[in-house]
Amino acid sequence: MNQHPLFPRLFLVFFLWTGLAQAATPVPKEPAVGAKGYLVEDFLSGQAIAEKNADEPLEPASITKLMTAYVVFQEIRGGTLSLEDKVRISEKAWRTPGSRMFVEVNTQVSVADLLKGVIIQSGNDATVALAEQVAGTEEGFASLMNHHAKRLGMTRSHFVNSTGLPDKEHYTTARDIARIARAMIEEFPEYYRWYSERKFTYNDITQYNRNKLLWRDESVDGLKTGHTDSAGYCLVTSAERDGMRLISVVLGTKSEEARADASQALLNYGFRFFETHKLYDSGSKLTSARIWKGTTDSVDLGLNDTLYVTIPRGEYDNLDAAMQLQDQIIAPVAQDQPLGRVVVRLADRLVAEKDLVALQAVDEGSFWQRIVDEALLYFE
């Protein structure tokens, strides 16, 4: 395993930019949070900073509506729906129990207004109306939710309705919720801003966003609350400070105040004691490797995705980046084919590990080139 030649230069640039290497900050134990499950992770790296029962299936209550909105946004992007479309409110949508936007049966309401009713007011009536518009029935819409959940890697989630009303077959995890939150922020920034709006008025009724942190912490700009008697009080939150974005998920607390306090404590802990750095850009050449029996004798290697790491504050200069390459690389090689690994460690702890991939395809060489390389390989 060879020391990566670019990593010392990467650190030198950071050192010169700051002027002085930052001393490491001792990291205390994560805050005690009274919740059935929780997770706080960095948005860019996806690394968990603190967690408890993060992979245990739990009831999400109205946090379900993150997936509902995500499916609707996908439909808008795909051209099958628009914000200006009018949706007829069915009796089923109108009668759906729980929080409400107060739409009236048989009226026509725009998709844009219904989305705000879902996101800001957490209206179950608006949620069912959108589900029926997209898929005909709420059951059909749930199948779309599960399709997108699988695509996003939400492996421990299953949805049977669009609202989050209790059902023993309706569940997700803190880690899966963080996945859909990241996808929402990353894929739909033009709509994500709605999650920071504090109030929405429809039919002369003004309702306020239930996310208390929107009033307490100016760095918080989303996402969603949830509550049922069986699920408890839940909150998924995102905040950005000094270019670092964190996502916290808190499930199954005892009150509105408890979920807000727990989320705030997790966010403060993450921002205070951790920092995120970009190590390598996607598509950039990190090294080259010998390739045999090809039209060329070397292939450039890099990463498919930008590599970020989240580490304790002041520990940047203690990172160690190394590469592991295949012993022999034989043509043909396809573009993006994995040919090794980048491994990043902090002391004895693995921080990140990513595939090194071919940045270009290399075809099989001529008959003569293959014969020559076969002979050379004999002596390797």
Q: Is beta strand 338-346 parallel, antiparallel or unpaired with respect to 349-358?
A: antiparallel
The arithmetic mean of pLDDT across residues 20-37, rounded, is 80
Cβ-based neighbours of 103, under 8 Å, separated by 6 or more: 89, 93, 94, 109, 114, 117, 123, 125, 126, 129, 202, 203
pLDDT exceeds cutoff 90 at 49: yes
| Model pLDDT for residues 109-140, shown as the tens digit of each residue | 999 999 999 999 999 999 999 999 999 999 99
pLDDT exceeds cutoff 70 at 93: yes
* Superfamily the domain 2-17+281-378 falls into: D-Ala-D-Ala carboxypeptidase, C-terminal domain (2.60.410.10)
Average pLDDT, the chain: 92
Domain with CATH 3.40.710.10 in the chain: 37-273
Domain with CATH 2.60.410.10 in the chain: 2-17+281-378
pLDDT exceeds cutoff 90 at 376: no
Bridge-partner residues for 2, per DSSP? 323
Given phi > 0 = left and psi -120 to 50 = alpha, else beta, which region is 226? Answer: beta
Which residues participate in catalysis according to the annotation?
62, 65, 122
Q: Which of 135, 124, 189, 141 is nearest to 114 (CA)?
A: 124
Measured CA to CA, the distance from residue 71 to residue 154 in angstroms comes to 14
| Model pLDDT for residues 140-178, shown as the tens digit of each residue | 999 999 999 999 999 999 999 999 999 999 999 999 999
pLDDT exceeds cutoff 90 at 19: no
SS3 at position 116: helix
Measured CA to CA, the distance from residue 291 to residue 131 in angstroms comes to 53
Highest mean pLDDT among 74-83, 320-329, 363-372: 74-83
Given phi > 0 = left and psi -120 to 50 = alpha, else beta, which region is 222? Answer: left
Q: Which of 232, 270, 185 is nearest to 62 (CA)?
A: 232
Split at pLDDT 50, 70, 90, the class of 373 is low
| Model pLDDT for residues 267-311, shown as the tens digit of each residue | 999 999 999 999 999 999 999 999 988 899 999 999 999 999 999
Alpha-helical runs (H) found in 244-326: 256-273
Measured CA to CA, the distance from residue 75 to residue 141 in angstroms comes to 12
| Model pLDDT for residues 314-364, shown as the tens digit of each residue | 999 999 999 999 989 999 999 999 999 999 999 889 999 999 999 999 998
37-273: CATH class: alpha beta
